[in-house]
Every structure is written in structure tokens, then in C-alpha cells.
Amino acid sequence: MKYSILIFMMAANLYSQDCITINHVFSFTPGVGQKLGQSEEFYPANIFGIPSRIASEDVAEATESEVLSLGFGGEIIVGNSDNLIIDGDGADFTIFENVFKNPINGRLFKEPAIVSVSKDGISYTEFPYVFASLEGCAGTHPTYGAADYCDSDVSGGDSFDLADLGLDSIRYIKIKDITDQVFANQNHKYFDYSLSGFDLDALVIHNFVVDVMSSVESDISEFYTLSSDEITSYNASNSIQIYNINGILVSEYSGIGLFQFRELQNGIYIMKISNSKGTAIEKIINL
């Protein structure tokens, strides 16, 4: 375990004023309707990098080169493949959407998303939110493009603190649009006929330590054979972890061999297997 090193680096990083942005999409499942910024010409470059510099509560950034529409019910999982996001002082990351003040009724136009985070990409913890007020959601505060995007006190956007969830570090941030639920409810405070779903501009990370992912998910199926009660590993560098549906590690294997899931109780498990060529995640139904 590298735990002691992590603690040391956290301490060294606590007073840094620097910030970084996301550089990796783990998955994107577009929702219904709005497709702005989803073409390869613009995505994913439009969500990497710093938030829009022209945005304010009076100006909504809506160019395809700057924002990605998730669509109603859409979901994206993002992170930084070279850095682990850690719980440091105050806000640990800030999500920027194109919230603006409607000049006709003076109300903020909000297209909300719920935010959850994960260390392993399997088990996610959701930041609490209140549907009626949208408090705790992303997509609820305008971006102030003229301000320092590294300073969450003045940058605008919606900031999240891992300490609120009792987590020390995460790799994966899931943003799931719930604008469809607001649109379905005409009595909702933020109902508007022109709602079309969450638009992601940028995600800034305030507290982080360098931790390069050994690999991103890829097809490594040639290196193993899996059945409901055993796995055969053909590669000496294979590292295999079995998690229960609550994300708790229940078994670990490595190297070449036949490993039987005898010790596991009947049920559904998630297997994560990785080697120098990549990582795969598979579901096991052990009967």
C-alpha cells in the first residue's frame, strides 16, 4: 500500500493555489433531445480545459466548442487519468455549467445534474441534494469567466467537498442529468418550457496528487476465460479483484492459474482484471 506516501503528498499539496482540469472521459451516455457539442469535432475537447471566459450570469456560454449537452437523463463519468482527486482544504472540485439569469423573469435558468464519486469506478457515493431547491446539484450557479477559475470562492460553478462524504480520494466523477424530472413537473420552482438538459462546460480539480492510471479500460479478454464459478488467467501480470455489489473487495488473485470462486457465497459480484494491456470489468453471477 502507498498510503503513507499519499498522506505525505496530501500535506505538501494542501496550500497549493494551483488547479487542474479533467482530461479523461470514462463513459458518456447521452440522454434524450439536445445534442449540442456531442460531435467528434467538438467533444471531448469542449469539456477539457478551463471554463468559459465569456460566461457570466448575464451571458450563457452555448457554443459547441465550449459545452457538451448531456440531454434529458444523460450521464457522463469523467476524471483526470494522471491525478487522483483528494480531500484537501475546502472544495475539492468545481463543475461549470451554463447557468444564467433569465432577463425576462430575473430568475436563474438551472438545468441540474446529480453528482456522485467513486474510487474504483464500481461503487459510487452520491452528494446529497434537495430536488425542490436543487441545492446540492451541479448546474445551479453561473460561471464568472472574468474571475480566477482556480478560486472556488469567486469562480462561480458548483463546488463539491469530499469531506462531506467522508472520502479521502476519488478517481471517477459521475454527472447525471435530472432536468427531465424538473421538466416533468410544472409546479417546480425551476420549471421552464425551454429546459433541455445539463450542459457541461468544464470541471476544475482543486486538490489532487499525481497518480497516473496504469491503464484505461480496454479489451483484454484474450488474457482470461471467465465462467460463473471460476476464472482462468493466462497472463502472469494479471491482477484480479472480486467485489461484492456494495463495492467491497472480497477476493483477490494474481498471475497465471485457475481460480475458483468456492469461497464466495451465491450472488452477484463484479470482477476487475487488469494487466499492462488494460483493465476489464465483468459481472459474475455465482450460483
Rounded distance between C-alpha atoms, residue 143 and residue 9, angstroms: 30
Handedness of CA 71, 75, 79, 81 (dihedral sign): negative
Residue whose CB is less far from Ca ion, 163 or 264: 163
Distance between the two ends of the chain, CA-based, in angstroms? 33
Query: What is the smallest separation between the CB atom of 58 and Ca ion, expressed in angstroms?
Result: 18
Residue whose CB is less far from Ca ion, 48 or 131: 48
| Grid cell locating 222 | 484474450
List the one residue out of 223, 229, 230, 227 whose CA is nearest residue 273: 223
Query: What is the smallest separation between the CB atom of 226 and Ca ion, expressed in angstroms?
Result: 38
Query: What is the smallest separation between the CB atom of 202 and Ca ion, expressed in angstroms?
Result: 5
List the one residue out of 66, 34, 21, 40 whose CA is nearest residue 177: 34
Query: What is the smallest separation between the CB atom of 77 and Ca ion, expressed in angstroms?
Result: 17
Residue the block writes with cell 430568475: 107
Residue whose CB is less far from Ca ion, 45 or 248: 45
Residues that bind Ca ion (CB under 5 A): 66, 87, 92, 161, 163, 201-202
Residue whose CB is less far from Ca ion, 207 or 274: 207
208 three-class SS: strand
